[in-house]
Amino acid sequence: MNQLSESVKFNAFMQRDTNFDGVFITGVRTTGIFCKPSCTARKPLKKNIEFFDDTAGALQAGYRPCKRCAPLINGLQIPDDIKVLLAAVEKEPEKRWKDWQLREMGLQPSKVRRWFQKNYAMTFHGYSRLRRLGQAMQHIKLGDNITKSMDYSGYESESGFRTAFKKYFGNAPGQVPEQNPMYVNRISTPLGPMLICANDDGLHLLEFVDRRMLETQIKRVAKYSKCFFVPGEHKVMQQVETQLQAYFKGDLKEFDLPIELLGTDFQKQVWNALLDIPFGETRSYAQQAENIGNPKAVRAVGTANGDNRFAIVVPCHRVIGANGKLTGYGGGLWRKEKLLEIEKNT
């Protein structure tokens, strides 16, 4: 894993610096493609990109390779027959490749396997699997209704989508254990789609689908609630959606939802302090530390805010820098600014 900062990567990408080719990969959320740093295509807004250490990470996240800069090549001398194979995968990314199909193309499966292992650190079947599973993951992350994602993923049956769902949430979507299942879906908001997890115990997760830490937050929900995820609706989700609509219309200033604040004692203390910040007001991280009786824990308070799994309803967006500047928001500073603007104008 490279140790370059986000700012260094962003500057290199914007400057099309060829020195960083092979060092990291850039994914563009709005187009669903990934590029080399030196790509000559039109550069997207900063909020619409994310970085990966390698092409495998970008593929797993659901991105497809850019046709202009060909990031999978990256200086490699790719044999003509492998180029034909890569083009075939991109034409039908949902296809499940078999060795006999490679032989029909005049390719030896063992030779193909060795070439991919040497140059991409994975087998060809591993590569095509990432393209296939990543496609379903991208639909989920872009906000398609999870229960309908199979229709868009190109699978001939549910098995492919079930595998993709399991890769993202840790279990297959039809797996309903004896424990209380955790229902997963997405809801639409004026600031973009949000992923929501809820069950009979209450709301466990509400986050923007493009948040970088979303996978980590899902794992934490599974850890604390000992749950299995299943796609579907739940009455708590309906409550959340109704209250969010009222919030964005300016008709609601305080949420009344059954929130499951599962975490360490310190985290719960910080999150409860967030709930005490009045609508339309802000606090600094130092003020928040003082409010919990631990004025030296400013940095720890900031970390706990970042671990908040309930965007908007547990208002970590109301915590700003001591100098009044907006800092640190998992959903993006542009959303933080919009939320504060909404509350100021209500």
Question: What are the residue numbers of the active site?
Answer: 316
The tokens for 26 are 């850039």
Q: Closest Cα to residue 132, out of 103, 109, 161, 158?
A: 161
Contacts of 274 (CB under 8 A, 6+ apart): 288, 305, 308, 314, 315, 316, 318, 319
What is the radius of gyration, based on Cα positions, of the chain? 22
CA distance 124 to 194: 34
| Phi, psi (deg, nearest 5) at residue 129 | -65, -40
194-199 and 182-187 strand pairing: antiparallel
Give SS3 for 261.
Answer: coil
CA distance 155 to 54: 26
The tokens for 338 are 């919009």
